[in-house]
A and B are shown apart, each in its own frame.
Chain A
């Protein structure tokens, strides 16, 4: 656009817009900054009034997040050896003893396993189906978008009732496999839709040339289409991963122990005698930060997934 263009906003209007948007950004980021900050506060600092903006950072929240503790009796405290590391020091200063490591590590790992497992499965099946939908005449093709929309109209709780019964019959309740299959089932219609959009954009001529060169259909798919669709596949994968990572309703209703993911676990973190906000904030930070970083790094590729693929760039 050239400098004299009538559609280029004036410098002043740009300036005003920038100020307003920056103002909104600051306000909207405050809760997130507050989560990260609270994770590094001590218990008393986290609940002081007025809220403390400047404070002495502490790893208490993180220590509490990863341990289960109990209040120590004065005799126990007196008998204890002097603290060897910062973990012991923090715990002893509060008059507590560590009883066992907390479940947070396990729950976080469950989120990783189920998130990546279901993403891999969604992408694997989704890419195959999307290719078929894009290139061949397949029944149900035209109903696909409608189908995605209609499956998303059902509240998750409504779907959870029969899934709960089904999983109980099949022995899939509270298992990683069950959750991976479930999240794949929820994600796959959208994944196919997004991937079909990406594959549609790859000219058919490429494959046809490959077929003429003696490639089989499968070879053409693997060596011509897949590399071309790599970016689209990656951004769809991130979108599936974020969904599975954040999902709460199914995880809350269908898992309780072995396969419980972090979202239903983090709100149940309690300290010795009451809600331990620094520990909750520490858990939330560890859980949310990867998504924040992903979002910032991959912003260009995420847009299509966010807007349902309905808005093509």
Chain B
């Protein structure tokens, strides 16, 4: 690499020209450095997106590649938007999103606030708390089904131990009313540390002198918390909610391992429904339209949210 043709050219040319060769090579380097990444992004991200859009207007089925492909216009879209089953999956997703975000924000912020007391050993504890979110959601989710087993599962046993409700009298994954909560609990266990870490970064970004000034002004701790700590952490917290919101909207691995969408369709989140349509019923065109609708939904919601976030930041 050291002896490129450009180097040799540079050595062979007078200094003023050399500078120009080097200047030119900067530009060349920029292109050489960036092009492979751009190509890869085009191949893995952009091109599939365009292809999905195209497929969404057809009746293509991936398991029948030789069948005639017909353009069906907007039929896939109208069918999805008028399908009550789809709205049910949206509802299940909304339930999942709302409660996981609520729990993760409350617990995550509280933990960060406590850890920020800077007691001895807080560093090690933070690391241990972070562990669940670093692990493979599918493998961990699979093991959670064992914890949720009625009779033998650790979770049910803990519930019996603390509340006296017999461990064999309820099944977290088998009951229509409990299953939506079982995925909320597992997701909260896994991802609360993420919210905690971002909040912690927020809390640590508040300079001490602000609190010192407040003490001089004799503002109560309670008032300090609500008028200083919370507003200053809020942009961080909102960022955490944005990331978790996007991730949980497309949640697949953890939940598919835990409940697979069941019982019935009580935990059928949009991603799991999408997988069924695309890779079990092989309605490729239909599921492409569904994918586009989901993408537009997340994109729209996220854009509105980011606008709100920027307003909070400016304040």
Chain A residues with CB below 8 A from B102, complex form: none
Say whether, besides A34-B154, A267-B257, A9 and B118 are in contact (CB < 8 Å).
yes
Taken together as a complex, chains A and B put the C-alpha atoms of A159 and B252 apart, in Å, by: 13
The reply to whether B295 and A153 contact each other, CB–CB distance below 8 Å, is yes
A293 to chain B, nearest CB (A): 10
Asked whether B45 is an interface residue with its Cβ less than 8 Å from the other chain, the reply is yes
Q: Give the nearest-CB partner of B42 in chain A.
A: A185
The reply to whether A49 and B62 contact each other, CB–CB distance below 8 Å, is no
Give the interface size bracket for B toward A.
35 or more
Asked whether A132 is an interface residue with its Cβ less than 8 Å from the other chain, the reply is yes
Chain B residues with CB below 8 A from A1, complex form: 208
The reply to whether A32 and B146 contact each other, CB–CB distance below 8 Å, is no
Asked whether B115 is an interface residue with its Cβ less than 8 Å from the other chain, the reply is yes
The reply to whether B212 and A185 contact each other, CB–CB distance below 8 Å, is no
Residue interface mask B139-181, A partner, CB < 8 A = 1: 1101110110001111001000000000100000000000000
Residue interface mask A286-313, B partner, CB < 8 A = 1: 0110011011100100110011101101
Stretch at the interface among A59-67, A87-95, A97-105, A245-253: A245-253
Asked whether B67 is an interface residue with its Cβ less than 8 Å from the other chain, the reply is no
The reply to whether A218 and B127 contact each other, CB–CB distance below 8 Å, is no
Taken together as a complex, chains A and B put the C-alpha atoms of A160 and B49 apart, in Å, by: 10
Asked whether B230 is an interface residue with its Cβ less than 8 Å from the other chain, the reply is no
Q: Give the nearest-CB partner of B110 in chain A.
A: A20
Taken together as a complex, chains A and B put the C-alpha atoms of A185 and B47 apart, in Å, by: 12
Say whether, besides A7-B212, A161-B284, A18 and B119 are in contact (CB < 8 Å).
yes
Taken together as a complex, chains A and B put the C-alpha atoms of A22 and B215 apart, in Å, by: 30
Question: Quick one: which of A7, A13, A34, A245 contacts B136, CB cutoff 8 A?
Answer: A245
Stretch at the interface among B29-37, B71-79, B83-91: B29-37
Asked whether B294 is an interface residue with its Cβ less than 8 Å from the other chain, the reply is yes
Asked whether A35 is an interface residue with its Cβ less than 8 Å from the other chain, the reply is yes
Chain A residues with CB below 8 A from B215, complex form: 6-7
Chain A residues with CB below 8 A from B115, complex form: 17, 21
Q: Give the nearest-CB partner of B133 in chain A.
A: A306
Asked whether A198 is an interface residue with its Cβ less than 8 Å from the other chain, the reply is no
The reply to whether A51 and B250 contact each other, CB–CB distance below 8 Å, is no
Taken together as a complex, chains A and B put the C-alpha atoms of A226 and B274 apart, in Å, by: 43
Taken together as a complex, chains A and B put the C-alpha atoms of A125 and B120 apart, in Å, by: 41
The reply to whether A296 and B127 contact each other, CB–CB distance below 8 Å, is yes
The reply to whether A154 and B136 contact each other, CB–CB distance below 8 Å, is no
Chain B residues with CB below 8 A from A248, complex form: 136-138, 252-253, 257
Please report the total number of A residues contacting B with Cβ < 8 Å: 108
Say whether, besides A35-B143, A267-B257, A307-B198, A185 and B41 are in contact (CB < 8 Å).
yes
The reply to whether A162 and B52 contact each other, CB–CB distance below 8 Å, is yes
The reply to whether B130 and A162 contact each other, CB–CB distance below 8 Å, is no
Q: Give the nearest-CB partner of A50 in chain B.
A: B157
Taken together as a complex, chains A and B put the C-alpha atoms of A245 and B277 apart, in Å, by: 27
Asked whether A3 is an interface residue with its Cβ less than 8 Å from the other chain, the reply is no
Question: Quick one: which of A14, A24, A29, A185 contacts B45, CB cutoff 8 A?
Answer: A185
Q: Give the nearest-CB partner of B254 in chain A.
A: A248
Q: Which residues B243-293 have CB closer than 8 A to chain A?
A: 243, 246-247, 249-250, 252-253, 257, 270-271, 274-275, 278-279, 284, 287-288, 291-292
The reply to whether B118 and A249 contact each other, CB–CB distance below 8 Å, is no
Chain B residues with CB below 8 A from A129, complex form: 33-34, 36-38
A295 to chain B, nearest CB (A): 5
Chain B residues with CB below 8 A from A155, complex form: 249-250, 252, 270-271, 274, 291, 294-295
Say whether, besides A14-B119, A125-B37, A161-B52, A292 and B135 are in contact (CB < 8 Å).
yes
A239 to chain B, nearest CB (A): 10
Chain A residues with CB below 8 A from B197, complex form: 303, 306-307, 311
Chain A CB within 10 A, most for which of B52, B136, B154, B198 = B136
Asked whether B27 is an interface residue with its Cβ less than 8 Å from the other chain, the reply is yes
The reply to whether A32 and B117 contact each other, CB–CB distance below 8 Å, is no
Question: Quick one: which of A35, A157, A307 contacts B278, CB cutoff 8 A?
Answer: A157
Asked whether A232 is an interface residue with its Cβ less than 8 Å from the other chain, the reply is no
Asked whether A78 is an interface residue with its Cβ less than 8 Å from the other chain, the reply is no
Asked whether A156 is an interface residue with its Cβ less than 8 Å from the other chain, the reply is yes
Taken together as a complex, chains A and B put the C-alpha atoms of A132 and B25 apart, in Å, by: 12
Asked whether A163 is an interface residue with its Cβ less than 8 Å from the other chain, the reply is yes
The reply to whether B278 and A161 contact each other, CB–CB distance below 8 Å, is yes
Q: Give the nearest-CB partner of A245 in chain B.
A: B136
Q: Which residues A218-251 have CB closer than 8 A to chain B?
A: 218-219, 221-222, 242, 245-246, 248-249
Contacts A21-B122, A152-B246, A216-B7 given; 15 further ones with Cβ under 8 A? A31-B132, A31-B140, A131-B33, A132-B31, A140-B38, A147-B41, A161-B288, A165-B62, A166-B48, A245-B136, A246-B138, A248-B136, A262-B139, A263-B138, A307-B201
Q: Which 8 pairs from chain A and chain B are nearest by CB?
A: A185-B44, A158-B291, A248-B138, A155-B250, A162-B48, A246-B136, A17-B117, A128-B33
24 pairs from A and B in contact (CB 8 Å cutoff): A9-B118, A30-B154, A32-B132, A51-B153, A51-B154, A129-B36, A153-B295, A153-B302, A157-B274, A158-B295, A161-B62, A162-B49, A165-B62, A166-B51, A217-B29, A246-B139, A249-B253, A262-B139, A266-B138, A287-B136, A288-B135, A288-B136, A296-B131, A311-B197
Taking beta carbons and an 8 Å cutoff, which residues of A are in contact with B?
Answer: 1, 5-7, 9, 13-15, 17-18, 20-22, 24-25, 28-32, 34-35, 38, 47-51, 125-126, 128-129, 131-133, 135-138, 140, 147, 149-166, 168, 181-182, 184-186, 188-189, 192, 211, 216-219, 221-222, 242, 245-246, 248-249, 252-253, 262-264, 266-267, 277, 280-281, 283-284, 287-288, 291-292, 294-296, 299, 302-303, 306-308, 310-311, 313
